[in-house]
Amino acid sequence: MSHPQHAAEAVVQAIARTLAFHQRCDQAGPHANALSDPVMARVRGFVLAGEPVHMVLPAFPAKSPSLRKVLGPLPDLAEALSLDALERLCARIAAIHPAGARLTICSDGHVFGPTIGVSDPVIDHYQAAIRAMIARRSLAHLDTFCLCDCTSLLVGSAGHDDRRAALLAQHGQSLDDIRTGLLRSEDGVRQLRGIIRFMAEDDWRADDARSATQVQREAKARAYQVVQRSLAWGSFLQEVFPRSVRLSIHPQARSSDKLGIHMLPTADAWLTPWHAVAVDLGDRAVLMKRHQAESQGARLIHVDGRPSHYSAWTDGRPSALRERAAA
């Protein structure tokens, strides 16, 4: 049932305040938490139609291949707590808007696989584990969408390579255009530097014979490909979900048609659950790179025989986080 016109705007504003609480904005100032006009328009469209507010989030691709950052190739407590946070966000919107909310996680691992050094079988296992985690934790507001679900990209044998090629052919820009676009603005240069840093960290190994300069150069070349694929995936998702509120795991400008959101606290705006480990501080969990958690003396915690997270909780009392990890 749609809201009467006079009540609808109050609901829209209440949802906006809820989303703003989770927002990651790359600009400071008195209006930093105000949602952009494109985001507000999409929220308003669902409210006026009396439909669930549908959000899409490109995220949860695969674990970083760097064991300096993560515990292994499968999801762990970092992902579990982040999924819980997304579920809570939807529940808060549903408490305001009777039609409710849904969030589709658009897993983009197969889009990026060759450029980030993670094989398709490893990505398959990660994404299957994410789906199982959502089901096991009864996260009723969440669902998933991935390259394998893209019926319009069914070409050739419909393998991952074919789908990636079709995605780039139908929605991709040339690398020259990508490069020009990124270097045109401060935001683009900042985005490029962040991706290069992350890719260089993921690619570096203790026994690496390459110089730091060579690692950086190779990371820069692949960073342009990552941006190319990210934009192509975003364009495709806009085609598949034209009305949906678009979320991002990275900070966004106030004028963006995407809303950057927090899932877990982190000091690094680029750090994600799949590039990090969860660290139990007793009263809350934060994301850290694995080597940082270990260098600060955090203890590795196993749950059901598998490494789950780290604990900096030292007074001997049981942690509520341990109970959530076992859920």
Q: Using pLDDT thresholds of 50, 70 and 90, give the confidence band for residue 325.
A: low
Is the model more confident about 148 or about 50? 50
Q: Rounded to 5 degrees, what are φ and ψ at 309? A: -170, -175
Q: Which helix (H) or strand (E) holds 108?
A: none
pLDDT at 177: 95
Q: Is the pLDDT of residue 322 over 70?
A: no
Q: Is the pLDDT of residue 231 over 60?
A: yes
Q: Is the pLDDT of residue 29 over 50?
A: no
pLDDT at 206: 61
Give residues with Cβ within 8 angstroms of 258, minimum separation 6.
Answer: 39, 246, 247, 248, 252
pTM: 0.89
CA–CA separation, 4 and 168 (whole Å): 43
In the sheet where 306-311 sits, what is the strand order? 285-288, 277-280, 306-311, 299-303
Q: Using pLDDT thresholds of 50, 70 and 90, give the confidence band for residue 179.
A: very high
Q: Using pLDDT thresholds of 50, 70 and 90, give the confidence band for residue 30.
A: very low
CA–CA separation, 78 and 308 (whole Å): 8
Q: What is the mean pLDDT of residues 157-171?
A: 87
**Cα dihedral value 114, 164, 260, 127, nearest 10:** -70
Sign of CA dihedral 215, 217, 222, 228: positive
Give residues with Cβ within 8 angstroms of 195, minimum separation 6.
Answer: 223, 226, 227
Q: Which helix (H) or strand (E) holds 28?
A: none
pLDDT at 77: 97
Q: List the domain range (segments joined by +) for residue 232.
A: 5-325
Distance of CA 186 to the CA centre of its chain: 22
What is the tally of structural domains in the chain?
A: 1
pLDDT at 68: 93
CA–CA separation, 83 and 270 (whole Å): 18
Among 23-27, 48-52, 180-184, 255-259, the minimum mean pLDDT is found in: 23-27
CA–CA separation, 18 and 108 (whole Å): 26
pLDDT at 136: 97
Q: What is the pLDDT of residues 266-320, one digit of tens each?
A: 767 778 999 999 999 888 899 999 999 999 889 999 999 999 999 987 555 545 5
The residue count of the chain comes to: 327
